[in-house]
Chains A and B, each alone.
Chain A
């Protein structure tokens, strides 16, 4: 359980984090969203004890963060932004070093090493020097070092940054596998990641919390949520579509010819629209129900409030 209360961090005159408060319970996978420089990394650095807050408090499992830092760092796994690693070591040496510093010994150490090497699939590169590996591998090693002691709290700063789609998928699957009864916090600016991995989204901008809810709630904020997009195989009379009960607005994309019908807030318009289409025998060849465009919501929340 993490309780953050009125957390602030100033760098000279810049307020990187500004009176941020939130609570995270075990089992939650929290996606930290925000534009670059929003204060995501700074917040994570304070949660892991790397930075001290200017004001406010962090309480983790009943202990205070800067105060009991060393005890808390035993139960936190952290992947810093950009996955910094000791490049002159081999992968195996590096993992052994982290296990050593984490105080793992004997059988447990061997078992944990085997476990993470298997989970993150590092067999093939164990004896390669870290500097000579690709970015994808470096991120995986960073992830392996973060989970080597089986932490209760996992904090990952942009874990999928710079990975190819296959690697992203693997990392996400890994995070999902890990996260039963644990707290996972990931920061990202990739929105699809939040709906793919997280069960809670926190949007921060200029150090302030702007949204806190499930990814679904975030989607609901989009005007595209439950909107219907149609395409006709040949020109047809569309004048009636805007008059359907529950449809608030109709938009036509002139390039593709797609017609999007936006529902009034809280209304479902699929049934009346299909009824209308079949009644007038409209030549529909494409019919999609939109789930909501997160990019738009994100822009609306961060730019709308920021301006």
Chain B
């Protein structure tokens, strides 16, 4: 219950400052640009949203750390963390509250892309079940990006440091399944290691989701990544809240 009070405050503060508007606007513009110019939405001649979802990992890579970087860094810088942590709420409740608030905004941005969905339905007859599944998948993935970014925001008082760290760590999670990384491992490691590294990648797990397959293993992967990074946040904040 108290998590929700925290979440409501966070959510409000995103809209009291222009952060939420800027995030949503940039997300909409960029996802549009990616879909139509880089994804060849029209030239493909298929009524689906694959070119739209395909670029999401790369959009989140920069946009999610940007919206999450202030979560803890600003609390530390302004000293409000002292106020927050001496209120009768546990660190876990606070972490969950902050996550929920930010995740709702990411979801809101996704909701605002529905005109694209309507357009596809106008142009042809896509499988709407696939699109719903892909929306759920991308929202789950954004949660994983968010958990990583919020956790790293707790590491430093500086939002810039938090942003750079988050982008780097998210980048590792995104590319670990790409050929560059896999090739680097293939030469010396056995298959088990290569498979393990590849299985850490957001891309590997999101690929199927973008095509509308919500496999239990992929869902579980994103939920687990999110949960473990949130848990890490709790530990980090308890350790260094006073620094």
Contact = CB atoms under 8 A, between A and B. Distances in A.
Contacts of B82: 45, 50, 80, 84
B86 A89 contact: no
Do most interface residues of chain B lie in helix, strand or loop, or is the interface mixed? helix
B119 interface: no
A80 B88 contact: no
Given A50-B241, A84-B78, A89 B9 contact: yes
A9 to B, nearest CB: 10
Contacts of B88: 70-71, 73-74, 101-103
B83 A84 contact: yes
A80 B242 contact: no
Contacts of A85: 80, 83
A86 B13 contact: yes
Contacts of B186: none
Contacts of B118: none
Interface in A227-271: none
A101 B6 contact: yes
B114 interface: no
Contacts of A49: 85-86
A80 B13 contact: no
B5 A101 contact: yes
A97 B6 CA distance: 8
A303 interface: no
Contacts of B2: 100-101, 103
> How big is the B interface, by class?
20 to 34
A88 B242 contact: no
A97 B80 contact: no
Contacts of B8: 97, 100
A149 to B, nearest CB: 9
A80 B90 contact: no
B78 A87 contact: yes
Interface string B63-88: 00000000000000011101101111
A50 B242 contact: yes
A250 B184 CA distance: 89
Interface in A78-94: 78, 80-82, 84-89, 93
Interface residues on A, range: 20 to 34
Nearest to A72: B88
Contacts of A87: 78
Contact of A50 (B6, B16, B85): B85
Contacts of B79: 80-82, 84
A71 B87 CA distance: 10
Contacts of B13: 86, 88-89
A273 to B, nearest CB: 53
Interface string A90-115: 00010001101111000000000000
B124 interface: no
Query: Which of A50, A51, A103 has the most B CB atoms < 10 Å from its CB?
Result: A50
B89 interface: yes
A84 B86 contact: no
19 contacts: A48-B86, A49-B86, A50-B82, A51-B242, A70-B88, A70-B90, A73-B88, A78-B83, A80-B79, A82-B79, A85-B83, A93-B12, A97-B5, A98-B87, A100-B5, A101-B6, A101-B88, A103-B88, A129-B16
Interface of B: 2, 5-6, 8-9, 12-13, 16-17, 78-80, 82-83, 85-90, 241-242
Nearest 4 A-B pairs (CB), nearest first? A84-B79, A100-B5, A80-B82, A73-B88
Interface of A: 45, 48-51, 70-71, 73-74, 76, 78, 80-82, 84-89, 93, 97-98, 100-103, 129, 145
